[in-house]
Amino acid sequence: MPLLTGNVDSWPDRTIFIQGYPTVDPQIRRCFMARNQKYKLVQPYGHPTWHKTIDNRISEENFTYELYDIAKDPGELNNIADKHPEIVANMKKQYEDWFTDVTTNPGVTRPRPVAVVGSEHENPVMIECWENSNVNIVKEGYYRITVKPSGKIRWTFNDTIGMVWAGDKFIASNDSKCNFNLADIELSMPIESGAIQCVFEKVYLPAGVNNFYVEVSSDGQSVINRLDETDNLPFGPVHLTFEQINK
């Protein structure tokens, strides 16, 4: 609140970090940013879309480190990394320590966060998920559950390979379907070719923390959470939206 109201004389400096490419298994020093109140360190190389680097692990030979004085150069026009190697080294070390901390035993020594559904403060709630995850339903009742493509989804039917990204239409064969399970709830819906989403209307969900499972399948094979046969990348994930509809 002091920052929002302006009633603060000083604020301790801190460094924040962003790992700038989507993956469940990030590579250290690949496409990241570290920033404090004065400086911003960027290593931009390695995004699978921008730089066509689709492999899980890439060589660091193309990694470059850019340093900007944000206080004097908010437009990031003057790279001063060569002039201040000690600042680059310090912020790089902070980033590496942070990366090690947040990627060590996720879900074991570091509990995974659980998405909250049903709160009056956020409705609907969108989750990017693979086949299964936990969700905390804080208010029982009826929900609309919407499934959309998110990450890369590729599957084959009738000797045709289909590629689907976030916002694209599903490509479906005669037996394509979407399955959703939570607690003892089991739902299934056919996917029509050209549809942009699958919607389960008015699903009653109990309160509490439950594991849910969502699957998009075609020709009897799941099209998320498995390896692509050509480039060895994972399929999926999907966007899953919970919208409370009882007022």
pLDDT of residue 5: 79
CB-CB contact of 201 with 208 (8 Å): no
Number of neighbouring beta carbons within 10 Å of residue 103? 13
With 0-12 CB in 10 A as exposed, 13-18 as middle and 19+ as buried, what is 155?
buried
Residue listed under structure tokens 């109990």:
206
pLDDT of residue 199: 92
Query: Spelled out in words, what is the top-level CATH class assigned to the domain 2-103?
Result: alpha beta
Query: How much is the pTM?
Result: 0.56
Could you tell me the two tokens for 8?
A: 């603060």
pLDDT of residue 230: 47
pLDDT of residue 218: 66
pLDDT of residue 215: 79
Query: Spelled out in words, what is the top-level CATH class assigned to the domain 122-244?
Result: mainly beta
pLDDT of residue 118: 93
Render each residue's pLDDT in the chain as its tens digit; 247 residues: 677 777 777 778 899 999 987 666 788 999 999 999 999 999 999 876 666 665 667 889 989 999 999 999 999 999 999 999 999 999 999 999 999 988 887 655 566 678 899 998 999 999 877 667 789 999 999 999 998 876 554 444 444 444 554 555 665 556 678 889 998 999 998 887 677 788 999 999 999 999 888 877 766 665 554 434 444 444 445 788 999 997 5
Rounded to whole angstroms, the Cα distance separating 84 from 77 reads 16
DSSP line for 148-214: EE-S-EEEEETTEEEEE-TTPPP---TT-EEEEEETTEEEEEE--TT-S-EEEEEEEE-SEEEEEEE
pLDDT of residue 78: 97
Segments making up each domain of the chain, as ranges: 2-103, 122-244
DSSP state of 62: G
